[in-house]
């Protein structure tokens, strides 16, 4: 069994929303497809929105160590969901930017969390928290934005 198949099977078994997303039909070439109403993607939007609200409520100084540890766990789960969504879109044959953006967000969440943890000054911590909030907001917006045709597909947006 290839590593890709083994990973896909383990992801499908780990979260029922992933199985639902994987069961969606393959993308039609050149046709923009919105995934915003699919359970996996709705879950990502819900999680990212909730985490952004937490970061915004903390303000520039951040949270207590205990609250931050809980937040880190939730952020790691969101990162895993973003990677699962990337793999689902890849499996469907979706050739758009969304699958790449979701992978990038998945990889960036731990980096932004580490930047908050290692910030040496209040100013650096405020910047790191702002960057984290911006990334979480992007996570919501890339999923909820209306799909656009690929520029290379020859289909023009109206």
Confidence (pLDDT) at 153 = 47
Confidence (pLDDT) at 69 = 95
Residue 98 lies in a domain: yes
64: CATH: 1.20.5
What digits encode the pLDDT tens for the residues 16-71? 555 555 555 555 555 556 899 999 999 999 999 999 999 999 988 888 889 999 99
How many domains does one find in the chain? 1
Q: Which of 112, 56, 111, 48 shows the shortest CA–CA distance to 77?
A: 48
Residue 1 lies in a domain: no
Inform me whether the pLDDT recorded for 112 exceeds 90.
yes
Residue 119 lies in a domain: yes
CA distances (Å), 38 to each of 23, 112, 144, 152, in order?
11, 27, 11, 26
Determine if the pTM surpasses 0.85.
Answer: no
Residue 27 lies in a domain: no
- Tell me the three state secondary structure of residue 15: coil
Residue 139 lies in a domain: yes
Residue 26 lies in a domain: no
Confidence (pLDDT) at 147 = 75
Residue 50 lies in a domain: yes
């Amino acid at each position: 069994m290839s590593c890709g198949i083994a990973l896909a099977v383990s992801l499908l078994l780990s979260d029922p929303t992933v199985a639902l997303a994987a069961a969606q039909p393959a993308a039609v070439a050149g046709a923009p497809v919105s995934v915003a109403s699919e359970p996996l993607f709705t879950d990502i939007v819900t999680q990212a929105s909730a985490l952004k609200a937490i970061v915004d409520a903390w303000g520039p100084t951040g949270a207590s160590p205990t609250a931050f540890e809980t937040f880190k766990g939730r952020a790691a789960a969101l990162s895993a969901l973003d990677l699962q969504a990337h793999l689902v879109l890849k499996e469907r044959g979706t050739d758009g930017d969304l699958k790449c953006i979701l992978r990038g967000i998945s990889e960036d969440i731990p980096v932004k969390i580490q930047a908050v943890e290692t910030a040496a000054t209040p100013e650096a911590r405020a910047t790191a928290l702002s960057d984290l909030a911006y990334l979480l907001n992007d996570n919501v917006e890339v999923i909820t934005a209306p799909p656009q045709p690929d520029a290379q597909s020859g289909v023009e947006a109206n």
